[in-house]
């Protein structure tokens, strides 16, 4: 995919964030990624998992933040 195609794709999508509070069962990175994918899919009511662009731990808050790409919806013209 060329740089122009990547820029065009990003203009049609937006980034959204999820906050994941880890517990005993969600200590592994793979588990956190699976939770992020599932919650993003559920939030967007999508048939496929939206791409997770970043998953970072915020040590001051003891939470993980997952950024995912959602398709931008077009508002109807008036």
Q: Are 69 and 60 in contact (CB under 8 A)?
A: no
Q: Which two tokens stand for residue 35?
A: 């939770």
Q: Which two tokens stand for residue 30?
A: 């793979």
Say what the alpha-carbon torsion angle 21, 27, 31, 37 is, to the nearest 10 degrees.
30
Residue-wise pLDDT tens digits, 18-69:
999 998 888 789 999 999 999 999 999 988 989 999 999 999 999 999 999 9
Q: Are 46 and 39 in contact (CB under 8 A)?
A: no
Distance, CA of 5 to CA of 25 (rounded, Å):
39
Q: What is the pTM of this model?
A: 0.74
Which domains occur in the chain, in start order?
13-71 (3.30.1370)
């Amino acid at each position: 995919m060329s740089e122009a195609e990547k820029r065009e794709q990003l203009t049609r999508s937006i980034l959204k964030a999820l906050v994941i509070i880890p517990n005993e069962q969600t200590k592994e990175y793979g588990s956190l990624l699976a939770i992020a994918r599932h919650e993003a899919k559920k939030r967007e009511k999508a048939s496929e998992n939206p791409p997770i662009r970043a998953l970072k731990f915020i040590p001051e808050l003891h939470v993980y933040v997952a950024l995912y790409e959602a398709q931008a919806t077009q508002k109807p013209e008036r």
